[in-house]
Structure 1
Amino acid sequence: MTYLSTRVNRSMPPSAVTPVLSYQDVGAAVDWLRIVFGFRERLRIGEHRAQLAIGDAASIVVVQGLGGHPASGWATHSIMVRIADVDAHHSHAMSCAARVVSAPASYPYGERQYTVMDLGGHLWTFSQTVADVDPLSWGGQPIALQLEDAQS
């Protein structure tokens, strides 16, 4: 059974699997990851979230805290997987008695998503592109490539 999505949405990172990392200070984390690891900022969402890219397809999302982890109260990371059909995937996960943290919902940035906690307490968000949405329409701020990023 294949679930991966090939749809494009300017509001989402282009990779199929995206780590989501939690930091207290998103701006400081973005600066550090850019300078030390060579990521480039792709999109800024307020002061609480940013999308970073490296190379053609690899990306990460940096967020200010993730709620819901039963052991610590905050998760330090989660995984986001872009798929073709969230509702079918959710139904299958439910039939396997998965622990659903948030049911499928559609968002203004063109994605339909749900989140599951796996048997090790890791959070997985499955995301289906339902529309190609300009980030400016919902408050995202696309970041122009800097000269040094374009030369890398």
Structure 2
Amino acid sequence: MLANRSIPNCTVIPELTYPDLSYAIHWLCSAFGFTLRLRIGDHRAQLNVGDGAIVLTHHPSAGAVTPLAHSLLIRVADVDAHYLHASEYGARVLRHPITYPYGERQYSVADLIGRTWTFSQSVADIDPCDWGGTPENL
């Protein structure tokens, strides 16, 4: 798998949504010893956790139990082949494959109970500063 400085070097990356992203970063780092890896504007952040990572996202209604409350980000070697297979198997497509300026090609689907899964392929090694990320502990 291609390395990319804009995404944690993990295979499974939980995505957790919070109504106050800044407070969530502070609280998780203070309470659990996580470290801020990358801040992405006021809507996303990556935290290091041992040899793993989590992604935090902002959504105002995150306190309620909703499909937005959590999702999983899984890194794969070939996102397009993975997308075709998942689509053929009946996964409900939420977002078709798209390549982002931070060097990832991603798509999202809902599983059999509506949980969101995003699959991501690193297609370039992009310095987070090139697209507006604010690296902390890379």
TM (norm. structure 2) is 0.92
1:81 to 74, 86, 100: 74
1:39 aligns with 2:31: no
1:24 to 14, 19, 27: 19
User: What fraction of aligned residue pairs are identical, expressed as a percent?
Assistant: 52
Indicate conservation of the 8 Å contact 2:18/2:58, yes or no.
yes
1:111 to 104, 109, 115: 104
Answer with 1 or 2: which has the greater Rg.
Answer: 1
Structure 2 vs 1, CA of residues 116 and 39 (structure 1 numbering), >3 Å: closer, same or farther? same
CA RMSD of aligned residues (A): 1.8
Partner of 2:55: 61
**4+ runs deviating over 2 angstroms:** none
Partner of 1:51: 46
* SS of match in other structure, 1:47: coil
> How big is the shift at 1:14?
1.0
Q: Which runs of 5+ in 2 are unaligned?
A: none
Greater mean alpha carbon deviation, residues 29-38 or residues 93-102: 93-102
What are the superposed Cα offsets for residues 35-83 of structure 1, whole Å, 9 maximum, x if unpaired? Answer: 101100000001111100021x21000110299xxx94x5100000000
Indicate conservation of the 8 Å contact 1:66/1:76, yes or no.
no
- Matches of 2:31 and 2:4 in 1, distance apart? 28
TM (norm. structure 1) is 0.84
- Matches of 1:144 and 1:100 in 2, distance apart? 34
Structure 2 vs 1, CA of residues 53 and 144 (structure 1 numbering), >3 Å: closer, same or farther? closer
Alignment-mate amino acid for residue 75 of structure 1: L
Partner of 1:128: 121
- Where do residues 132-143 of structure 1 align in structure 2 (5 Å cutoff)? 132-143=125-136
Indicate conservation of the 8 Å contact 1:66/1:75, yes or no.
no
Alignment-mate amino acid for residue 43 of structure 1: L
